[in-house]
Amino acid sequence: MFLEPSFKGQRSGWIEVICGSMFSGKTEELIRRIKRARIANQKTLIFKPLTDSRYDREKVVSHDANQVLSIPVPTSQDILSHTEDAMVIGIDEAQFFDPALTAVAEKLALMGKRVIVAGLDMDYLGKPFGPVPDLLAIAEYITKVHAICPHCGNLATHSYRLSDEKNRVVLGEKDKYEPRCRICYSMGNIIDFRTN
């Protein structure tokens, strides 16, 4: 069933997904796209899950310390109550949102909005993470960014957990995670040494 977009004269919206491992530049790319939209005088809003307060409670902050003010929300449905006038919607740390994020992004796109979502595509076990795989399936544009494996220098696609914690969601930075290529990730603790 086709739903006619209703955003003030704009005839189309779309979904962009930026995904990859930790330290690959996902948030950096999201911030870059939001800033470019602002330069073009497009009204933007950016959201993040309320649970992610690693760097700041109200800002989306990249590992390189670039930042933009955001609206922390407890659920993906809460995004809809803030977006009426915005043309471009940014959503960071998508993997921490509930499964309804996919439907929320779809609804926003059908309203004629540009929706830019950034998140981990895989958890520390190498399994699809949260709503990101479903978002990848419905997105018009997908950007997979890569970190560099600190052990071999190849492109890193996995987030290797350095701590022994077993919960799926463990907030942390370089103290708990490092990016690894497929081979070094599969070797696990065998190569748990620093090559600085």
Looking at the annotation, which residues are catalytic? 93
Residues in a beta bridge with 56: none
Q: Strands 71-73, 44-49: parallel, antiparallel or unpaired by DSSP? A: parallel
Alpha carbon separation from 180 to 58, 148, 158, 162 (Å, rounded): 30, 7, 5, 11
Give the burial string for 7-43 (b: 16+ CB within 10 Å, else e): beeeeebbbbbbbbbbbbbbbbbbbebbeebeeeeee
- Direct distance between the N- and C-terminal alpha carbons of the chain, in angstroms, rounded to an integer: 55
